[in-house]
Chains A and B, each alone.
Chain A
Amino acid sequence: MDLFLQYLITGLTVGSIYALLAVGFVTIYNVTGVLNLAQGEFAMIGALSCVTLVNLGIPIFGAIPLAILITAIIGLAVERLAINPARKATPIVLVVITLGVSIFLKGMGLIIWGTSPKSLPPLVESKSIEFMGAVVNSQSLWILVVLIAHLVVLYWFFEKTFLGSALRASEKNPRAASLMGINTSTMSMIAFTIAAGLGAIAGVMIAPLTDATYEMGFFIGIKGFVAMIFGGMHSIPGAVAGGLLLGVIEAFSGGYISTYYSDALAFGFLLLVLFFRPQGLFTKATGERV
């Protein structure tokens, strides 16, 4: 039982990191129709620029928002310089453009930060906490709390604010949205900025758990992508649930079977989802958002 709880908390912690990436994927995919392959790179930039800022002597709680801001601005620049000029191109061309952006950003990461892994100092003093019989690292508990807070803010933004409502409308039906007077090109810009910011949060949160390198974007991007597919590609709550589920699957298979197989199991599960529920696990059969 105590191990079960421990794996569950680990799974939810990693899962909420995937969830942030997946929400970024879904937001961009639905507002612009682009599958943004550079999403993982935003996490890399967020993590590494945070490390640099900390090394410059900025306290961690100042460095984190700064790193998120820097990454969000890079996301905005990517949209204006690479995506917006090619807005009329076919979806496949746009995906190839994002692949190019991803390679470019990774190259910049290599030039700026080199190949050696970097790590963030722990966010809080790392100690073990006993919680209902389970031994949990205070660090990962803290990360979980921060991520849940972000997911709540995201929910509030998309469901309760007018800008969030306009973004959702552009996601659902860009043409009808433009007939309301919504500038869908501005919405695309906002989507990239938000997605980059979310990627950066994910990167900053994962950096104290594992090391950050210029290459980390690829793997973490794939995890976010899988989480989005679990959620059905169109739904923000679905993406969140998908991310948490993926994290939990990995933690349990890593804990009870072997960490060697946890990736394989996660991808095996992905194939099952694609075969049997291509519309996602959490959408109703009509394809309506949950």
Chain B
Amino acid sequence: MFKVESLSSRIGKIQILHSLDFHVDKGEIVSIIGANGAGKSTLLNTLAGIYTPVEGKVTLQDDLISGLPAHKIVGKGLCLVPEGRQIFPGHTVKENLTLGIYSKYYKDRKHVEENLERMLELFPGLKKHYHRIGGNLSGGEQQMLAIGRALMSDPKIILLDEPSMGLAPKIVNEILEILVRIKEEMGTMVILVEQNVKAALKVADRAYVMDQGKFIMNGTNEEISSNPEVKSAYLGIKVG
């Protein structure tokens, strides 16, 4: 289980996150939704160790991970697929994927090969580009690569920051299906941050609604999607 307790974070001198509490259970996809500037990316970056929390506790299967630098948190089993994908454009697809398992590369080469094979099975579209540089892939392929690269490290929990950004609905569906697959096949926990609320609620088990650095609502998928406020503010449905 993944647990966050009274987490606060600031960028520079401005406090962005205000005492957040939430959790993800094993085998769960939890979605975090909210308007632009609500603090979703700040939350994910804080969990991944890019920003150090000013207060609060983050535990992953009873292992305290808050306060660790980003490169150590990966080793604890938390991996972030950052906003805007951020693949390495001059590296080949294979090199990008291999960097995802950086800390184990020198220790267990066989494991690296196995994971590479598994990623090609999970993302067959990457196969024909395997030795081409990542910068020439389409947006959808780059997103697949970014997710594959994160999965290379065998994370217990994977965090995705707006994976649907700029992608066609068909590709978005493919990505959502893969998230469900990794949850079911590998028992990986998933935190999915999305502006595309409809898409997120399709696959999430539970959701949190964020506004100005606080959670203003949370509940199961059905509870959130039938909530009148969510309907009008995030799903664009007029509530009469």
Contacts and interface: CB of A to CB of B under 8 A. Distances in A.
A182 B72 CA distance: 9
Main secondary structure of the interface of A (DSSP, over half): helix
A168 B91 contact: yes
B74 interface: yes
Contacts of A169: 88, 91, 99
A169 B49 CA distance: 18
Contacts of A150: none
Contacts of B69: 178, 183
Interface in B48-71: 48-50, 69-71
A179 B70 contact: yes
B90 A289 contact: yes
Nearest to A162: B105
Contacts of B80: 179
Contact of A176 (B88, B98, B105): B88
A97 interface: no
B172 interface: no
A176 B91 CA distance: 13
A172 interface: yes
A168 B103 contact: no
Interface in A171-207: 172-173, 175-184
Query: Which of A168, A169, A176, A184 is most buried by chain B, counting CB atoms within 10 A of its CB?
Result: A176
B51 to A, nearest CB: 11
Interface in A260-280: none
Contacts of B82: 175-176, 179
B79 A179 contact: yes
B11 to A, nearest CB: 14
Q: Choose among A165, A179, A184 the residue with the greatest number of B CB atoms under 10 Å from its CB.
A: A179
A125 interface: no
Interface string B72-109: 10110001101000111111000100111011011000
A165 B92 CA distance: 10
Contact of A178 (B50, B100, B106): B50
Contacts of A166: 99, 102
A179 B48 contact: yes
Nearest to B150: A179
Contacts of B89: 172, 288
A88 to B, nearest CB: 11
A288 B135 contact: yes
Interface string A98-139: 000000000000000000000000000000000000000000
Contacts of A173: 86, 88
Interface in B17-68: 48-50
Given A180-B74, A181-B74, A181-B153, A175 B91 contact: no
Contact of B71 (A165, A168, A178): A178
Contacts of A178: 49-50, 69-71
B111 to A, nearest CB: 14
A180 B135 contact: no
B149 interface: yes
Interface in A229-282: none
A173 B135 CA distance: 13
A235 B163 CA distance: 30
Given A165-B95, A288-B135, A180 B100 contact: yes
Nearest to B89: A288
A176 B102 contact: no
Contact of A165 (B87, B99, B103, B153): B99
A61 to B, nearest CB: 32
B228 to A, nearest CB: 38
Task: Specify which of A162, A173, A181 lies most central, judged by the most chain B CB atoms within 10 Å of its CB.
Answer: A181
11 contacts: A165-B98, A166-B102, A168-B91, A169-B88, A172-B88, A176-B87, A180-B99, A181-B74, A288-B89, A288-B135, A289-B90
Given A178-B71, A288-B135, 13 more contacts: A165-B91, A165-B99, A168-B88, A168-B90, A175-B82, A176-B82, A176-B87, A178-B49, A178-B50, A179-B82, A180-B74, A182-B102, A183-B71
Interface of B: 48-50, 69-72, 74-75, 79-80, 82, 86-91, 95, 98-100, 102-103, 105-106, 135, 149, 153
- Which 5 residue pairs across A and B have the least CB separation, nearest first? A181-B74, A178-B70, A176-B86, A181-B103, A181-B102
